[in-house]
């Protein structure tokens, strides 16, 4: 049965929403997080049972398409909590038990949402095997996405591995001038770069593009005209991006990851340290301004 609703707690930690979205008939809220206090799209007050309408393999990744015609348009950088409607849990150690956080990689005109999945454990394995005819439970869009670019700065997107997902939807909004620099471990993973327009690629083993780290491509760009960097990827990569941008005095927004149990501010499982104390990444992030961080820490995993 598709299109059903199940009562759940309100999304996004309860920031007061009061202004209509310019992009969708969805509630908006203003939060004091590190990304500059921009408005964001709030999730409907329940998780939604939605049909999977497509699955395609993209090298080492899977793109899962979910029909959500009635859902609000997510802001680039927002995510959803996903769980398969059937056979979720009951595997080894009863995992996956909790839903899994997943960035929205694209929203099509008919409301279909694309998610890029990398099978790293029981949750992503189950999600990645879903296909048309299956259903998912989706709560979202959640969190705070990328803040609007500063004037007179060119956008550089720096992605690592499955972290390229939120950069794909962001590049679509930013337009043709946004340069994408993407790093992967090998050519099979680099096939994921097809989600972005005219990307420059680096691979660890040199099997596609530049042999080396994506931060080497980024370093070469930061000496040019004034830029603003948007990055998502594994913590060591984000820490390198943070340090590089600080060194060059370039503003950066970092989409971080943390083990998330609820996704809407209730469990405090996703807290990360910032210069002004701990924040819940699911409501104050996942995108944080780089200057808010002393450094990018490595998070834990959900149950
Ligand atoms: C905001 C956000 C957006 C995300 N977007 C995507 C996405 O677009 N595509 C995608 O494939 N994955 C994404 N993830 C990561 C995904 O949620 C985790 O990889 C997933 O929860 C792992 O579950 P699992 O059961 O498959 O593996 P597990 O067995 O739970 O974990 C496998 C390995 O990944 C580590 N890990 C698990 N969860 C996290 C996490 N949240 N942060 C860092 N390390 C973790 C574990 O320590 C372990 O080493 C996102 C996470 C967050 C917080
Ligand atoms: S995941 Fe529960 S508070 Fe963030």
Domains detected in the chain: 1-303 (3.40.50.80)
Is residue 21 scored above 70 in pLDDT? no
State the ligand closest to the CA atom of 256. Answer: 1
| Average model confidence (pLDDT) across the chain | 88
Bridge partners of 184? 203
Does the beta carbon of 263 sit less than 6 angstroms from any atom of ligand 2? yes
**How confident is the model over 9-23, as a mean pLDDT?**
30
Does the beta carbon of 81 sit less than 6 angstroms from any atom of ligand 2? no
Can you tell me the distance from the alpha carbon of 226 to that of 160, in angstroms, rounded to the nearest whole number?
Answer: 22
Can you tell me the distance from the alpha carbon of 27 to that of 43, in angstroms, rounded to the nearest whole number?
Answer: 8
E strands along 70-220, which residues?
Answer: 79-84, 100-103, 106-107, 112-117, 135-142, 154-160, 179-184, 200-203, 210-211
Q: How many Å lie between the centroid of ligand 2 and the Cα of residue 151?
A: 33
**How confident is the model over 121-145, as a mean pLDDT?**
97
Does the beta carbon of 280 sit less than 6 angstroms from any atom of ligand 2? yes
pLDDT per position as a tens digit, 38-77: 578 999 989 999 999 999 999 999 999 999 999 999 999 9
Can you tell me the distance from the alpha carbon of 177 to that of 166, in angstroms, rounded to the nearest whole number?
Answer: 17
**How confident is the model over 240-263, as a mean pLDDT?**
97
Q: How many Å lie between the centroid of ligand 2 and the Cα of residue 190?
A: 31
Q: pLDDT over 90 for what percent of the chain?
A: 78
The answer to whether the CB of 256 falls within 8 A of the CB of 271 is no
| Choice among 4-8, 46-50, 81-85, 202-206 with the minimum mean pLDDT | 4-8
Which residues contact residue 93 at a Cβ distance below 8 angstroms, ignoring those fewer than 6 apart?
A: none
Does the beta carbon of 102 sit less than 6 angstroms from any atom of ligand 1? yes
Q: How many Å lie between the centroid of ligand 1 and the Cα of residue 243?
A: 24
* The total number of residues written for the chain in this structure: 303
In ligand 2, the atom with minimum distance to the C-alpha of 259 is 1
Is residue 16 scored above 50 in pLDDT? no
The answer to whether the CB of 235 falls within 8 A of the CB of 267 is no
Is residue 143 scored above 80 in pLDDT? yes
Identify the band that residue 151 occupies on the pLDDT scale cut at 50, 70 and 90.
confident
**How confident is the model over 243-270, as a mean pLDDT?**
96
Identify the band that residue 89 occupies on the pLDDT scale cut at 50, 70 and 90.
confident
Identify the band that residue 198 occupies on the pLDDT scale cut at 50, 70 and 90.
very high
Is residue 298 scored above 80 in pLDDT? no
């Amino acid at each position: 049965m598709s299109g059903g609703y199940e009562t759940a707690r309100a999304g996004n930690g309860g920031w007061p929403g009061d202004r209509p979205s310019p992009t969708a008939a969805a509630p908006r809220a203003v939060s004091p997080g590190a990304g500059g206090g921009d408005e964001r799209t709030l999730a409907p007050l329940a998780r939604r049972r939605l049909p999977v309408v497509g699955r395609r393999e993209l090298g080492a990744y899977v793109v899962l398409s979910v029909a959500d015609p009635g859902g609000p348009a997510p802001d680039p950088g927002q995510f959803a909590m996903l769980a398969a409607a059937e056979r979720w849990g009951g595997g080894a150690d009863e995992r996956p038990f909790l839903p899994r956080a997943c960035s929205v990689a694209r929203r099509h005109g008919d409301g279909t949402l694309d998610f890029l999945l990398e099978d790293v454990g029981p949750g992503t394995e189950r999600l990645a095997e879903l296909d048309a005819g299956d259903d998912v439970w989706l709560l979202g869009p959640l969190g705070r996405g990328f803040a609007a670019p500063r004037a007179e700065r060119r956008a550089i997107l720096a992605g690592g591995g499955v972290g390229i997902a939120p950069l794909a939807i962001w590049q679509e909004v930013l337009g043709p001038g946004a340069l994408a620099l993407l790093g992967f471990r090998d050519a099979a993973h680099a096939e994921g770069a097809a989600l972005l327009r005219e990307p420059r690629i680096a691979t660890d083993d040199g099997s596609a593009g530049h042999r080396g780290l994506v931060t080497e491509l980024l370093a070469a760009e930061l000496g040019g005209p004034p830029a603003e960097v948007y990055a998502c990827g594994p913590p060591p990569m984000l820490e390198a991006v943070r340090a590089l941008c600080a060194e060059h005095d370039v503003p950066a927004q970092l989409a971080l990851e943390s083990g998330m149990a609820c996704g809407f501010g209730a469990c405090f499982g996703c807290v990360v340290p910032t210069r002004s104390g701990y924040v819940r990444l699911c409501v104050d992030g996942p995108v944080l301004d780089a200057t808010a961080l002393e450094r990018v820490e490595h998070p834990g995993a959900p149950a």
